[in-house]
Amino acid sequence: MATDTQFPLWEVFIQSKSGANYVHAGSVHAADSKMALQNARDTYTRRGEGTSIWVVPSGAIVASNPEDNDMFFDPANDKVYRHPTFYVMPEGAKAI
Amino acid sequence: MVQSYRLSEWCSNAPVLEEDLALTNFALDMTGRAQVLLTYAGKVEGSGKTDDDLAYRRKEREFYNHLVMELPNGDFAFTIARLLFTSAYEYYFFTELKHSADEALAAVAAKTVKEVKYHLAHASDWVLRLGDGTAESHKRMQQAVNELWPYTGELFETSNADAVLRDKNIAVDLAPVKALWRTHVLSVLTEATLEQPEDGYMHSGGSKGVHTEHLGHILSEMQYLQRAYPEATW
């Protein structure tokens, strides 16, 4: 990848309705945080997808290393007593 | 509608992808507004014209848009400086129009204010970045402002028809709009280290259907399909 002639990269998270969690929607290039918010709004909320936007410089995101997946995730996966699968959700609590 | 056409011309041509989306989004906002207003105009005129009739079957001399809208896009500085001037005008204009005695216009105004507020923020931010940017961007921005300034006077022209509508509280009094516009534009230009040009000769004629040579070209492309195939539907 050549030295970017693009503006810095930002990751975009959108909250679809108040109280919900923010979901990663994609990324935008922008020169500063104000522009990043506007670009995210133009790019990712065109069809009414959200009510709130977070933008984070991509460099601030720390991601887990795929080579460590074994170490990170397998120990929890094979222990069925750790999973919340034996509780039946009551009808009215579906939104949690 | 004319300005929407110009902004659409940036589609796939904008300097960065996100700006491509922004400008075309604005074009869509403007088209929506044009559709509502033209439908209403057709109704008020009373001879059964639809929004399509008014958009696609009028000739140059029957268009009354401000001349500044039809000017070619130029470079990005020109487009964004124009957007600053027109969206500032629209913001203050439609804020006033919300109080119109005509309910349909007041409703359009209420919706439009939200759109143009965003257009204005976007344009102002870019003017600041480019004006107070590199030597090249400053030069282009100043040149754009200088070229556009003689077209800004027309935004505040009034006619006898306007006076009649204003008495009925339907139309907007442009004097306070102009004052607010000047204040806002001056503050943006100053912060962007740009000079506001002197008020000199101001271009005029849109409200009489007298246009620059550019509108003819716009209409010949925009209206081609409807003129070549008048009965077309899809």
CATH code of B147's domain: 1.20.1260.10
Residues of chain A contacting residue B121, judged by C-beta atoms under 8 Å apart? 38
- The 8-class DSSP code of residue B229 comes to S
Give the total number of structural domains in chain B.
Answer: 1
Has residue B234 been placed in a domain?
no
Q: What is the pLDDT of residues A9-31, one digit of tens each?
A: 999 999 988 888 999 999 999 98
Question: In terms of CA atoms, which chain B residue is nearest residue A39?
Answer: B18
Please state, for a pLDDT cut of 70, what percent of chain B lies above it: 100
Q: Rounded mean pLDDT of chain B?
A: 88
First to last CA, chain A: 42
Give me the pLDDT at residue B232, please. 82
Please indicate if any CB of chain B lies within 8 Å of the CB of A28: yes
- What is the reported pLDDT for A3? 56
Nearest to A31 among B17, B22, B129 (CB): B129
Cβ–Cβ under 8 Å, residues B231 and B85: no
* pLDDT value of position A96: 57
Chain B residues with CB under 8 Å of A7 CB are: 16
Tally Cβ neighbours within 10 Å of residue A78. Answer: 7
Q: pLDDT value at position B54?
A: 85
B217 in a structural domain: yes
Residues B179-234: tens digit of each pLDDT: 999 999 999 999 999 999 988 889 888 888 888 989 888 888 888 888 888 888 87
Which residues constitute the domain of residue B61? Answer: 2-228
CA-based max dimension of chain B: 55
pTM of structure: 0.85
Q: What is the 3-state secondary structure (H, E, C) of A56-87?
A: EEHHHCCCCCHHHHHHHHHHHHCCHHHCCCCC
Q: How confident is the model at residue B127 (pLDDT cuts 50, 70, 90)?
A: very high
Residues of B whose CB is below 8 A from A38? 22, 121-122, 125
Tell which of A35, A41, A49 to mutate to test the B interface (max B CBs under 10 Å): A35
Which residues 33-92 of A are in CB contact (within 8 Å) with B? 34-35, 38-39, 42-43, 46
Cβ distance of B16 and A29 shorter than 8 Å: yes
Q: Is the pLDDT of residue A8 over 80?
A: yes
Task: Give a yes or no: residue B193 inside a domain.
Answer: yes
Residue B124 lies in a domain: yes
> Which stretch of A40-54, B6-20, B123-137 has the lowest confidence by average pLDDT?
B6-20
Higher pLDDT, B9 or B154: B154
Q: Say yes or no: A29 contacts chain B, CB-CB below 8 A.
A: yes
Q: Is residue B8 part of a domain?
A: yes
pLDDT tier at B140, thresholds 50, 70, 90: very high
Domains of chain A: 9-64 (3.10.20.520)
**Contact residues on chain A for B129, CB-CB shorter than 8 A:** 31, 35
Separation CA B226–CA B228 (nearest Å): 6
A30:B18 CB<8 A? yes
| Count of CA atoms in the C-beta half-sphere (13 A) of A4 | 8
- Which conformational region is residue A19 in: left (phi greater than 0), alpha (psi within -120 to 50 degrees), or beta? left
Residue B134 lies in a domain: yes
Question: Over 90: is that where the pLDDT of A76 sits?
Answer: no
Say if residues B123 and B115 touch (Cβ distance below 8 Å): no
Identify the residue whose tokens are 């001037």: B85
- Give the confidence band of A1 by pLDDT, cuts at 50, 70, 90: very low
Do A29 and B122 lie within an 8 Å CB cutoff? no
Q: CA nearest A46 in B: which residue?
A: B25
B82 CB-contact burial (10 Å; exposed 0-12 / middle 13-18 / buried 19+): buried
Do B142 and B202 form a contact (C-beta atoms < 8 A)?
no
pLDDT (tens digit, 9 = 90+) per residue, B61-73?
888 888 888 898 8
Which region among A2-6, A9-13, B79-83 has the lowest average model confidence (pLDDT)? A2-6
**Does A6 touch chain B if contact means CB atoms closer than 8 Å?**
yes
| Rounded Cα–Cα distance for residues A17 and B59 (Å) | 47
Q: Could you give the strand order of the β-sheet that contains A22-29, starting from the edge strand earlier in sequence?
A: A22-29, A9-15, A52-57
* Closest by Cα among B98, B100, B57, B68 to B3: B68
% pLDDT > 90, chain B: 36
Q: What per-residue confidence (pLDDT) applies to A82?
A: 78
Å between B70 CA and nearest CA of chain A: 24
Q: Which residue of B16, B17, B122 is in closest CB contact with A38?
A: B122
> From CA A30, how far away is CA A45, in angstroms rounded?
17
Q: What is the reported pLDDT for A87?
A: 77
Q: How many residues does chain A have?
A: 96
Note the ipTM here.
Answer: 0.78
Between the two ends of chain B, the Cα-to-Cα distance in Å is: 21
The secondary structure of residue A10, as a DSSP letter, is E
Residue A2 has pLDDT above 50, yes or no: no
Average pLDDT for B44-52: 85
Query: How is residue B60 annotated by DSSP?
Result: G
d(CA B4, CA B30): 6
The average confidence (pLDDT) of chain A is 84
To the nearest whole Å, the CA of B173 is away from the closest chain A CA by 32
In a domain, B144, yes or no: yes
Distances (CA, A) of B9 to B73, B76, B79, B212: 8, 12, 11, 18
